Structure formats: C-alpha cells, structure tokens
Structure 1
Amino acid sequence: MRITIHRGTEQIGGCVTEYEHKGWRLFVDYGEQLPGTVKSDKLLGIEGLTKGELSKSALLITHYHSDHIGRIEDLSPELPIYIGKIARDIQEYVSEHKRFVDPEGLTVVERLKCANTFVPGEAFKFGPFTVIPVTIDHSAFDAYAFRIETDGVSTFHTGDFRTHGFRSGKLPAVIEKYIGKVDYMVCEATNAGRPDATAETEHELQKRFEQAFRDNKYNIVYLSSTNIDRLFALYHAALKFRRPFYVDGYQRHIMDIVTQRDSMWGKSSLYNYGKYEPKTLQRDGDDFRVIPEFEKFLEEQGYVLIARASKRFDDLIAKMPGEPKKRYLSSWTGCLNPNSEAYNPALVASLSQGFEYMHTSGHCDMASLEFLVEILSPKAVIPIHTDNAEAFAKHLSDRWPVIHLKDGESINPIGGQYTDGTYAEIIAINKPTDEHKVIANDGGCKWWSLDNRHVGYFGKWNDATNMLQAISYAPKRLLGYNIEDEEDMSPFYVVAYDHNFKRITEYEWESHAPGEGNFQEMDWLKPGDKVLAVIRDFDAVIPCEIIGPLSEEFLKAEKEADEMCPFTYEEIKEEMWDWDWDKVIVRPLVRLADEYKSMPEQMLVQRVDIYPYREFDL
C-alpha cells in the first residue's frame, strides 16, 4: 500500500492523503487551505482525484470543517464521496444557506446529495480496500477516523480529534473493538508546537459557563454555528438556571438536525432538548423583531443569546434590555489578530465593549495523542495537519518512529505475508533491564538492552531506504539501521548502516563457506578492535573485543564443549548455510546470564550486527 501525503506535512488544514494499491485509490479529505497559509495551487494535480482515470478512486471525508471538505466542488461528479450521515446533512444545510453569497455552495450541495454514507463501526469495501469508520470527538459533529487496510497493511487515519470532549471517554474501547493494532498511523499534529499544553475538558468548560450564567443575567456568546457539542453544552447550562436560550432560525435548524435524526446520539441527554427548547428569534425583513413583550420578558428572565458577528445581531443586541451585557468568545482567537489573514473586523467590532474568552481546543494535546499511539502500537507514525512536524518528532520519537514526509512524498510498505521481501529495522539501545544479571564485567563497561524496531516490509530496496531516511527515532539512543533482502525466507542481501545512515557492513549471499572466496570476510573489523555487538539471543547490545573471523577450529571446539549435542561436526557443517558462515568471533567485555543460558568467554556474532564503538549517556 502506497501512502502519499499530497498536502499537510507543513501546514494545518487543506490536507490531502492518498492510499493506493494496484491502481485503486482512496483519498482522505480535500479542503480549503486556512487563511495565512502559503498557498500552493488551489487545484492540486493529483492523478485519480483531480485528473486522470477516476473509476478506481474514492474520497473519504473525516468531517465537515472547510479545511477538510471545502474544495469538493472542484472534483468531478464521477468521483464517489463517503461521509458520515449527520455530517453530510449539516454541511448540506450550511452550504445551502451560504449559496446566496457563495455560488459554489450550490455545487457542494449537489455533490453531497449524491454522497455515500456509512455506519460507524461497520466495515465497507472499495476495490481492494477495507475501511472501518469510527466516530471520534472533535469540534465538528459526526467526525470520523478510518482504519484502512489492503494487502496485509493497515493504517489508522485519525482525522482531527481530541480526548477532552464529551464523547472522548469511549475512544479506547472503540479502538479495541473496531481497530486493534495497526501497522501505521497517519495522525493530526495540530498542537505539536505546544507540547506541554493541556486542554480544558468540554465538561469543565460547561461548568464554567453554568457559573457565568448564574452570576450574569444577560449573556451573549459568539461561537461557531457548527460546534454542536459547545452549542448543546451552552443550552443545557442556560437551562439549568432557567435562562431563556435564544438562537436564530439558521442555528436552530442545525441543532434540530442532530436532535431529530435517528442516530447513535439519540440516547444522549446532551443532544436532546429539555423542558424548554431553544427559542428561535423572529425575523422582520432583514432584521430581528423586537416587540415590547419580548423586551419585558428578557428583562425579567435574563437570557443566553448565541450570536454571530453581523450588523443584524449587533442591532438586535443594542435593542435588547439588560446592563451590563456579558459577552463571551468561545472560538479561536486568531480572527481577532489584525496581522492575521483570518482577521474578522466585524467580530472585533461586536466584541469592542469587552468580552471573556471561554474556549477549549477541538484538537488533542500531545500527551493525549501519545496515549492513542500507545493503544494502536503502530510501526511508525506520520504527522499531518501540522506546521511543526519537527516538534512532533521531538516529542514522540523517543518512543515511536516518526516518519517526516514532505508534501508529495510516499511510503510504500507491503504485507508481511510475502515469503520474499525487504525488511527494514531500526537498531537502538536502552537502559539495561533486570531480566539479565551480569556475571562478568571487564573494566566496568556499560552495556545496554536492545531496542530494535521493525518498521515494515517492502517490495523494493529503495522503498526501505527511503522509509528509514525519513524516520526520526530515539536520536540519543540510536545505534544504526539494518535492511535485509530475503529470498526463500533467508537473508540474501543485508546492509548495516550507522546512526548517520552511513553504510558500514554489507553481506551478499555467496561464497562464505570454507574454501570459497568470501570465507572469513572481515571488512572494516580488525582483531583487538572494541566494538558494540547486537547479541540477539539476549536482546542486548554489548561492548566486545574482536577476536577474528569464524573458523572451523572454533566450531569444532564449540562442538566438543557441548556434550549434549547429538550431531557430528561434519553433520553440523553440512547443515550450515552461507549466512551461517558470515560470523565473527568476539570476546564480550560484559557477560550476561538469564534463567536459561549464559554468555561464554568467546562467542559468535553475525558480522552485520557489529557496529563501531561509541558511548551513550542515558
């Protein structure tokens, strides 16, 4: 499965990701680039999406925010689109509403009317792909992540998500039931530049609004019309203290889409109206109607008004009784910054009399993101939807390999079910564990436990090298890399690289047995050298002294020392493969033992498992 990030490795929003196998293509999201982004071509030239053959392509939409869905009007009607049912209904209504000021809205409506919807947790097929959509918590309602699998390779595409919303608590159970472990994770990293930030939960924010509505009689809140969870939280906070909750007809219709649909959310008290439903503002032409009875009721009862930055709302608020009027901003503050392309002078004017900022992010903090990675346990993580991939890698890469792609770059792993392929491995060290005890230490040397990460199988050698060169992992603990090309399920061509990806050792299947041309090949190794050897039987990295190449004399001595061995030396020699002869005799400077075995004073190590000696300070 080839995974390509067409856009999103160096910017928040406007992401486009492609999953391809044998000419079949699944794309995830095709949205607007956010204000302030250095714009690339608005219409990307992507085969199977914006041009070329479309019969084997489809587009998955994670949610209805414009930076994820906003350019679907550019796409051919022949391209199938998949989206959540309520998300589709909300976006269809929003686009229909906006079409009077934005003619492209009508095209979006037409596209959405033909869109396919799916059922959360139920797998569906598209060509060779199996897709499992699961609901996730985000500031857009009915948002989804996708498990995408083909050819034995699985990926979890997170979309935008958070773990501090009302619906976040069930995420671990959802992952366990529907997703399980995956090979790769394509992950939003919006807050990578704020790794120490922790987000206030939606429940905590709702409690603060309850306090505010109790203490203040006249309340005006500015927020996104499609931030469904926040809207209903404010409604219930107002209801608790019997503050009438006012919205315009547009906002009320969006809320009704959620409450009146037969969906999985119907049982939640959050998404149902209480004893007093939201009150809909009445229109008088282009303005809201304000009559004496309305004014008197508001003055007596107080109110919570959900407002938007517009002259119509400003005029209404000026006529509404009650002083002081308490204003709140419950959305991103970037639109208040005059130096930002997102600057909204109308909102600044509406808030000019002062406001209290009460908001929490729609995106996860880095600690929560790491928790999700722990559950999914991928071979590697690809960050997207970020303007700081380096910060993401710095935060996460000590525990998980992070693949830092540029826009347009790909990885191309294959499934492990193939008998022949190219295997890519990261070799790192870690602190010693208590599974082994030291039985000898020549000179107080340090030793390390082995931390090796298999990051994938590949059909081509270059795919493996490109993957490893794009990975950040454990920079303070990194020993090197290993790429192995297998034939007939045995090593055929193996290269070891140091931590700077410099080639240090090469093995090729041929002529390593006694009497053949490559017998006792040593390459850069010399007797007496101090090296670091990967001792795989002990999952350890041990400082060793090079004694020399494998010899028949050494093998015979080992055979004679093993009284339990039922085979003759000639029988042992007959069974040895070319790979078995490419070993080096070393003297471990630290000798370990466990419950079943102990290191001898001299032992054999595969030549490609030996690295130049260097110190580590963990």
Structure 2
Amino acid sequence: MNIKIHRGTHQIGGCVTEYECNGWHLFVDYGEELPGGPKTGDLQVEGMTHGDLSKSALLITHYHGDHIGSIIKLPKELPIYMGKVGRDIQRVLSNHLKNKIEAHKVMLERLEHVNTFREGNVFKFGPFSIMPVTVDHSAFDAYAFKIVADGVSVYHTGDFRLHGFRSGKIPDMLQKYVGKVDYVVCEGTNVARPKAASKEEYRLQKDFETLFKDNKGCVVYMSSTNIDRLFALYQAAQKARRAFYVDEYQKEVMDTVVNSGSIWTKSKLYQYGKHEPKSLIYDKYDKNSFFVSDSFKDALSEYGYVLIARANPRFDKLIEQIPGEKKRVLSMWNGYVKEGSNAYNENLARSLDEDFDYMHTSGHIDMSDLREFLRLLHPNGIIPIHTEKPEAFAREFSDEWPVIVLNDGDCISPISSSKADTCKAEVICIDKPKDDTKVISHDGDSTYWRLCARCLGDFKNMEDARSILSHTVFRPHALLGYEIYEEEDSAPMMVNVYDSNFDLLATYKEGGHKPGGKKYQEECRFKVGEKVLAAFQAGYKAVVPATVVGPVVPDIIRKNFESDEMASNYYDSFEDFQETLIDWDWDSVAVHPHVRLNSLSLTMSDTELVPRVMLFPLLNFKCE
C-alpha cells in the first residue's frame, strides 16, 4: 500500500490523502483551503482530478467545507462516499445558500450522486476493505476510516475529539471493532496548545443553562451545523424555561437530525421536548427582515428567550427591535473576531459588539486525550496531518511512538509482513533498564541502558525502508541509530545500520563469514581498544559501553560456550554447538563490556561477542 499526503502536512484546511494498492486509488477528503491560510490552489492528482478514474474513489469524513468543499471541481465519474446523515445536512446547507453562492448549486447536483454508508458496515473497493467508524466532532455524522489492503492496516482519524457528548463509547468501540493498526493518519489541529485541556460539552451545556436562567434575553452566535451545540443549547433553554428561537434554515437542520434514524438520535439530546424550537418568520413584504409583531416582543419580554443568531443584516435588525437587555455570546472559535487573525470576520465582530461572553469548546481533540486514544491503537507509526506544526506534533508524541513527518507529496510504501523478500525498518533507541536485569560489575561509573528497537513495518526494498526512516522522529534524545534488514527463515540476509545522523555505519551481507570464507573476520570500522556502545539484541536486550577486543575467533566462542552452563548441558560437545552457528553469528566482534549484566539465566563474561554491525559510537545519554 502506498500512503501519500497530497495536501495537509503543514496546513489545516483542504487535506487530501491517497491510499494506493495494485493500481486502485482511494482518496480521503477534498475540501477548501481555509481563508487566510496557506494556499496551494487546485490540486492536479492523477486518478482523482483527471486521468483514468475507473479504479478510483473518494471518501468524505464529514461535511465541513475544508473536507468536502472542493468536490464540485471533481469529474462526475469519480465515485464519492460519505455518511448518509452528513450528506443530508450538507444538502440542507447548500439548498439554503444556492441563491447566494453558485458553488452550492453545483454541490446539490453532486450530492445527488453521492454513495452513502452507515457506521460499522464494512464495504469493499477493489483491494481495499473500508470500515467507517463514527466519531465525535462538531460536525454530526463524522467518520474515521479503518482502511486495510495488502495486509497493511491504517486508521484515518478525520477530525474528532474525546470531550463531546458522543465520546464515551469510542474507546470500547475501537477495542472491539478496530484493534491494533499499522499506521494512524492523525489530525493534529490543537498541537499548538499541547497543555490545554478542552472543556467537556456537557459542562459547557450546564454553563449555558445557568446563563439562560440568569438572563432573560440571550443571543448566541454559533455555527448552524454544529449539531451537538445546537441541541445542547436547545435542551439548556428547555431546562431554563426559555423559548428557543432559530430561523427556518436552522430548524430544518435540526429536523434533519431528529428524523435521521441515526444511532445517536436515540439519545434524548437529539429529541424535541415539550416545546419544539420556534422558527422565526420572514416578513412577507421584506424577505431581508424577520416579522416582528408587538405580541412577539411582549412574549420575549415576559418569558425570556434564547436566540441562535448569525452575523447578517436580517438578524442585526431583529436584535435591534427586541426590547430589553441582551446577553450576547460567541460560541465558536474566537479567531473569527480577533483583529489580525487570518480568519477575522468583520461582520461577526460588528454584530457582537465589544460586550459579549465567550463560551466555547473545541471540535478537535486535545493532546492529553490524543495520547490516551493512540494507546488504544498501538500503531507502528503516526502520520500527522491537518496541522500547521507537524514538528510540534512529533515533539509531543515521539517519546512513545515513531512520528512520520511528511511534506505534501511525500509517500510511504509499507507491504504485508507475510510476503517473502521484505525489508524491515527499525529505529534503535535506548531506554531505562528493566528490573529483571541485574548489574554484576561495572568499570568506574559506567552505566547501561535497555535496548529499544521499534519496527516501522515491512517494505519491498531498502530504498523504501530508508525513505520512511528518514522521515521518522522517535525518542530523539535517546536515539542510537537505524537498522534496515532482510531475513530468510529468521536469519539475517542483508543488514544496513546507520548512526543517529543517518550516516551508514556498517553493512552485513549473508555469506562468507564462517572460518575459511572470503569475509571471515570482516573488518570493523571500530579499531581494537576503541570504546563503543554495544547493542546486545538477543538475551540481554541492552546497550552497554564496551571496548573492542578484536574479531571473532573460535577460542572466544569456545570459552563462552564452556562458561554457559545451559549450552554445555544442551550440546554433547563444543563441536556440535559450533555446527549450529550460522553466517550471522560468525560476523561478530569480541568486546569487553564495561558493565556486566545478569538477565534471567544469562550472565555476561569479561569478553562477549556482538554482531559487527551492532556497534555504535560512544555517546553519553541521559535517559530519564
């Protein structure tokens, strides 16, 4: 499977990701770039915007414009898939705007041919198996996708959070239906606020309920398609015994959700109570105004109200006509009213005036929740998208997972581990020692570390493996180096080892390393007497400072055999043991470990053998 980010590695709006397998192309999202943000223009992508579309399809995670807005530019022959309720909400939105914005006329036509799916129902497209996973976001009926092809699994998060009304069941759902995946293509919108915790939606709802009880007239500016917020305010108004007013468009959006049959609408949150939201009436003589009668004003003055408003002259005029004090509230991102912000909305700032309350919580996951979320998926690597700061994402999470930092247009190409002749790519780090390993002796103040090798997956060739490693950040403060290797019957056939700067340290190629072979005692880059870090992969799983003694010789192997009680008991003679040694075992170097260890039944001697390619320059680590 080839995973390519066409756009979104360094920006939030307009992400496009491609998954390709055996000539089939599966794209995720094609939205508009955000106002004031980076602009790359219309993409030209073979198999999506032009060319042969017979083996191509597009998945839409949700109806926000930065994820769906550009589908009107795509060829009609390209199949598009999205959630049914999400499509219906987009239809209401586009129908509302079609007479003002020509693009929404085209969107309505495009939506007529969109294929829909339901949460949890796996469907196939060519070699791809796709499971839509319902997630919590400020857009209703938003989805992540588990995508599997060629034995490789990816979880594409879309936009999501864990502090909304619908977040509680997500961990159980992931464990039951998704499980471990190889890679997570992950949104990182809030990575610029790594320590910020998002307020839970239910707590925000409680705050609004208190506000509505304490203030007879409340005007709330919010997105009309932020479904959870819209229904939360409606329910809060009901409990505060305030009438809840929306315009006809907003009421149609709410009706669409109530009547959708979604699994979430079983919740009382999405059901109307004794009093449905009241629709504002347009003035039949002036469509740019709402009809405001004396009885309407009297009712507002006597019983109080909650008005969901938008920044336009129609609402501005209505609010001016309503008597009494009004509490204005902004319940969406405050960047829209901050002068100098790329997304500054002058009309919204003017409608709010300067005296308003800010009551909002993000539609995107915070970094603390994201860490807990990723632990449920156990990925080999994480690819951040939908973020302006992928390097900050790597700093935040590379202590626990390899983070693959790509640029737009970059691609990684993992393949199934079940295939023959694959290359594995590993990052090699040090970590704190485990309790089951004891220090027998040490020279001076020498210390040791646990060996931590993290495999990023299997690849067709060395070049593909090297490419992913060159984009990977993992425990940079504890990085020893990188390893790429081919195996056959669990025996190494080809190994390249690099230092932390990605300079080649050593290469192993199977054959000729046994006594009498052309590569017997192959030259080591480290000289006799030189101090190194020796990585013991088998048995100890440790990184130990050591001094190079010299190349492997049978006498050293014999000495270690005779001191190893288990080996001596298992084999009838040293000669029998020696017959079991493979080419890899003979391409070793004798070292004197500065720290001798005991791990389970193994005890280090004064002279140990380490694979020649597993020697690294001596570094001073501070591993906390």
User: TM-score, length-normalised on structure 1?
Assistant: 0.97
Counterpart-to-counterpart distance in 1, 2:378 and 2:228: 30
Counterpart-to-counterpart distance in 2, 1:557 and 1:310: 87
- Residue 212 of structure 2 aligns with an amino acid whose one-letter code is F
Q: What residue is the counterpart of 1:434 in the other structure?
A: 435
Counterpart-to-counterpart distance in 2, 1:546 and 1:463: 33
Task: Describe the SS at the equivalent of 1:542.
Answer: strand
Task: Describe the SS at the equivalent of 1:265.
Answer: helix
Task: For residue 121 of structure 1, report the CA deviation from its aligned partner.
Answer: 1.3
Counterpart-to-counterpart distance in 2, 1:240 and 1:457: 57
Q: Which deviates further from its counterpart, 236-245 or 546-555?
A: 546-555
Q: What residue is the counterpart of 2:177 in the other structure?
A: 178
Q: What residue is the counterpart of 2:30 in the other structure?
A: 30
Q: What residue is the counterpart of 1:12 in the other structure?
A: 12
Task: Describe the SS at the equivalent of 2:425.
Answer: strand
Task: Decide whether the 8 Å contact of 2:212 with 2:240 is kept in 1.
Answer: yes
Q: What residue is the counterpart of 1:155 in the other structure?
A: 154
1:353–1:521 Cα change, 3 Å:
closer
- Residue 246 of structure 1 aligns with an amino acid whose one-letter code is Y
Q: What residue is the counterpart of 2:263 in the other structure?
A: 264
Counterpart-to-counterpart distance in 2, 1:341 and 1:99: 26
Task: For residue 89 of structure 1, report the CA deviation from its aligned partner.
Answer: 0.3
Counterpart-to-counterpart distance in 2, 1:382 and 1:353: 41
Q: Which deviates further from its counterpart, 551-560 or 447-456?
A: 551-560
Q: What residue is the counterpart of 1:329 in the other structure?
A: 330
Q: What residue is the counterpart of 1:583 in the other structure?
A: 588
Deviations 1:270-302 (A, max 9, x none): 000111110111111312111121111111001
Task: For residue 341 of structure 1, report the CA deviation from its aligned partner.
Answer: 4.3
The within-5 A match list for 1:279-294 is 279-285=278-284, 286=287, 287-294=289-296
Counterpart-to-counterpart distance in 1, 2:495 and 2:418: 20
Q: What residue is the counterpart of 2:322 in the other structure?
A: 320
Counterpart-to-counterpart distance in 2, 1:613 and 1:353: 61
Task: Describe the SS at the equivalent of 1:59.
Answer: strand
Task: Decide whether the 8 Å contact of 2:414 with 2:459 is kept in 1.
Answer: yes
Counterpart-to-counterpart distance in 2, 1:460 and 1:111: 42
The within-5 A match list for 1:360-375 is 360-375=361-376
- Residue 101 of structure 1 aligns with an amino acid whose one-letter code is K
Counterpart-to-counterpart distance in 2, 1:165 and 1:195: 19
Task: For residue 555 of structure 1, report the CA deviation from its aligned partner.
Answer: 2.5
Counterpart-to-counterpart distance in 1, 2:235 and 2:36: 36
Counterpart-to-counterpart distance in 2, 1:258 and 1:151: 37
Task: For residue 84 of structure 1, report the CA deviation from its aligned partner.
Answer: 0.7
Q: What residue is the counterpart of 1:604 in the other structure?
A: 609
- Residue 318 of structure 1 aligns with an amino acid whose one-letter code is E
- Residue 107 of structure 1 aligns with an amino acid whose one-letter code is V
- Residue 597 of structure 2 aligns with an amino acid whose one-letter code is L
Task: Describe the SS at the equivalent of 2:90.
Answer: helix
Counterpart-to-counterpart distance in 1, 2:184 and 2:381: 7
Counterpart-to-counterpart distance in 2, 1:93 and 1:467: 43
Counterpart-to-counterpart distance in 1, 2:56 and 2:495: 37
- Residue 314 of structure 2 aligns with an amino acid whose one-letter code is R
Counterpart-to-counterpart distance in 2, 1:567 and 1:413: 44
Counterpart-to-counterpart distance in 2, 1:302 and 1:557: 92
Q: Which deviates further from its counterpart, 607-616 or 547-556?
A: 547-556
Counterpart-to-counterpart distance in 1, 2:201 and 2:218: 19
Task: For residue 567 of structure 1, report the CA deviation from its aligned partner.
Answer: 4.1
Matched, 1:557 2:562: no
Q: What residue is the counterpart of 1:217 in the other structure?
A: 216
Task: For residue 337 of structure 1, report the CA deviation from its aligned partner.
Answer: 3.1
Q: Which deviates further from its counterpart, 604-613 or 5-14?
A: 604-613
Counterpart-to-counterpart distance in 2, 1:474 and 1:560: 39
The within-5 A match list for 1:110-509 is 110-285=109-284, 286=287, 287-322=289-324, 324-352=325-353, 354-487=355-488, 489-509=490-510
Task: For residue 364 of structure 1, report the CA deviation from its aligned partner.
Answer: 0.9
1:353–1:608 Cα change, 3 Å:
closer
Task: For residue 487 of structure 1, report the CA deviation from its aligned partner.
Answer: 4.4
Task: Decide whether the 8 Å contact of 1:419 with 1:489 is kept in 2.
Answer: no
Number of equivalenced pairs: 616
Of 579, 599, 619 in structure 2, the residue corresponding to residue 594 of structure 1 is: 599
Q: What residue is the counterpart of 1:77 in the other structure?
A: 76
Unaligned stretches of 5+ in structure 1?
none
Task: For residue 580 of structure 1, report the CA deviation from its aligned partner.
Answer: 2.0
Counterpart-to-counterpart distance in 1, 2:585 and 2:451: 22
Counterpart-to-counterpart distance in 2, 1:567 and 1:427: 37
Deviations 1:200-258 (A, max 9, x none): 11111111111110110001000000000000110011000110000000000000001
User: TM-score, length-normalised on structure 2?
Assistant: 0.97
Matched, 1:65 2:68: no
Counterpart-to-counterpart distance in 2, 1:490 and 1:435: 27
Task: Describe the SS at the equivalent of 1:71.
Answer: helix
Task: Describe the SS at the equivalent of 2:192.
Answer: coil
Counterpart-to-counterpart distance in 1, 2:379 and 2:262: 32
1:298–1:532 Cα change, 3 Å:
same
Q: What residue is the counterpart of 2:100 in the other structure?
A: 101
Q: Which deviates further from its counterpart, 221-230 or 440-449?
A: 440-449
Q: Which deviates further from its counterpart, 105-114 or 480-489?
A: 480-489
Task: Decide whether the 8 Å contact of 1:420 with 1:488 is kept in 2.
Answer: no
Deviations 1:26-48 (A, max 9, x none): 10000000011221122x11111
Counterpart-to-counterpart distance in 2, 1:358 and 1:558: 70
Deviations 1:387-411 (A, max 9, x none): 1111111111111111110000011
Task: Describe the SS at the equivalent of 1:437.
Answer: strand
Counterpart-to-counterpart distance in 1, 2:457 and 2:354: 58
Task: For residue 321 of structure 1, report the CA deviation from its aligned partner.
Answer: 2.1
Task: For residue 588 of structure 1, report the CA deviation from its aligned partner.
Answer: 1.7
Deviations 1:476-525 (A, max 9, x none): 10011111123455322211111111111111122111112210113212
Task: Decide whether the 8 Å contact of 2:4 with 2:17 is kept in 1.
Answer: yes
- Residue 294 of structure 1 aligns with an amino acid whose one-letter code is F
Counterpart-to-counterpart distance in 2, 1:151 and 1:38: 35
- Residue 471 of structure 1 aligns with an amino acid whose one-letter code is T
Counterpart-to-counterpart distance in 2, 1:486 and 1:256: 60
**Percent of aligned positions that are identical:** 52
Counterpart-to-counterpart distance in 1, 2:437 and 2:558: 28
- Residue 440 of structure 1 aligns with an amino acid whose one-letter code is S
Task: For residue 413 of structure 1, report the CA deviation from its aligned partner.
Answer: 0.6
Counterpart-to-counterpart distance in 2, 1:393 and 1:151: 28
Q: What residue is the counterpart of 1:518 in the other structure?
A: 519
Counterpart-to-counterpart distance in 2, 1:333 and 1:457: 45
Deviations 1:432-458 (A, max 9, x none): 121111111122311001111001110
Counterpart-to-counterpart distance in 2, 1:568 and 1:431: 38
CA RMSD of aligned residues (A): 1.4
Counterpart-to-counterpart distance in 2, 1:319 and 1:558: 94
Task: Decide whether the 8 Å contact of 2:524 with 2:612 is kept in 1.
Answer: no
Task: For residue 563 of structure 1, report the CA deviation from its aligned partner.
Answer: 3.3
